């Protein structure tokens, strides 16, 4: 259960994600640096199954996974979050799409996977438990949503709220941030910042890819709560060179308002 939005800018992009989960799920760990082969990436780790729903690697390639809409009940043999770890070692969106077509996705429950890289349209892969479809120019699908309660109803309401907020406005990272905080007419199972008795938005992620470095801001709470989070920064690596543009660093506790202001200043 998630809401995902993005916007590209010169040689980079913003990727924002609300993660919605049942109250019975264990909390995830904050993003840390990991490695897939020779490729470094930043990702939080799911507390129950050890995978990730969102990750960005040093090439500026990001993956964000949402639960899919199954045509029927299907038993998964592996956690979907492990697929993110399997694919994040690729250096390009086309590499991810090609790898998806080669790998055995039948072990996973249905999913939607957004694939972003600088200066290229977002790609979206959808596995429904029977077949996989990949849209390589999927900007028109933004925002992406998922819900275990009422998938179509939630998508309609959140898309309508985004359209309302964007009407007559420039769609930029600041507007996307407000969208992820939004309760529309009130906090509910249908609002972007989701609240219901058995589940809620449990974290907010904001990845910004710039020409020389990558920021991953993460707050382990619903974005409406403005709970302090942390920013992990790593150097961006050129796929055709061995050098790094800057040294990675991890900030201390950072208020999300400060992070948002910093992102807006550099946007």
CATH classification of the domain holding 49? 3.60.60.10
* CB within 8 Å of 142: residues ≥ 6 apart: 4, 5, 6, 122
Which domain covers residue 229, as residue numbers?
2-266
| Structure confidence by residue, pLDDT tens digits, 122-150 | 999 999 999 999 999 999 999 999 998 89
Helices (DSSP H) in the chain: which residue ranges? 81-87, 93-102, 151-166, 173-181, 256-266
> What is the model's pLDDT at position 51?
93
Read off the pLDDT of residues 81-112 as tens digits, 9 standing for 90 and up.
999 999 999 999 999 999 999 999 999 999 99
* pLDDT given for residue 263 in this prediction: 39
Number of domains observed in the structure of the chain: 1
Phi-psi region of 244 (alpha: psi -120 to 50; beta: other; left: phi over 0): beta
| pLDDT given for residue 49 in this prediction | 84
Residues of the chain with pLDDT under 70: 70-75, 240-267
- Tell me, what's the pLDDT at 238? 82
Q: Are 69 and 153 in contact (CB under 8 A)?
A: no
Residue 149: predicted pLDDT: 87
Residue 191 and residue 189: Cα distance in Å, rounded? 6
């Amino acid at each position: 259960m998630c809401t995902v939005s993005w916007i590209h800018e010169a040689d980079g992009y913003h990727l924002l994600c609300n993660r919605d989960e049942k109250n019975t799920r264990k909390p995830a760990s904050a993003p840390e640096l990991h490695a897939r082969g020779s490729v470094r990436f930043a990702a939080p780790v799911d507390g129950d199954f050890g995978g990730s729903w969102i990750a960005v690697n040093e090439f500026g390639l990001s993956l964000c996974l949402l639960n899919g809409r199954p045509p029927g009940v299907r038993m998964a043999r592996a956690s979907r979050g492990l697929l993110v770890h399997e694919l994040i070692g690729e250096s390009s969106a086309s590499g991810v799409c090609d790898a998806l077509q080669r790998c055995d996705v039948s072990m996973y429950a249905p999913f939607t996977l957004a694939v972003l890289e600088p200066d290229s349209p977002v790609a979206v892969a959808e596995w429904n438990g029977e077949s996989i479809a990949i849209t390589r120019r999927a900007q028109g699908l933004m925002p992406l949503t998922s819900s275990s309660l009422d998938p179509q109803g939630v998508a309609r309401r959140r898309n309508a709220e985004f359209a309302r907020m964007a009407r007559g406005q420039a769609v930029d990272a600041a507007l996307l941030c407000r969208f992820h905080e939004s309760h529309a007419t009130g906090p509910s199972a249908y609002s972007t910042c989701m609240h219901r008795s058995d589940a809620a938005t449990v974290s907010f992620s904001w990845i910004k890819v710039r020409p020389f470095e990558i920021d991953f801001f993460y707050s382990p709470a619903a974005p409406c709560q403005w709970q302090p989070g942390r920013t992990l920064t790593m150097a961006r690596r050129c796929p055709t060179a061995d050098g790094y543009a800057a040294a990675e660093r991890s900030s201390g506790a950072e208020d999300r308002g400060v992070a948002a202001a910093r992102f807006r200043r550099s946007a």
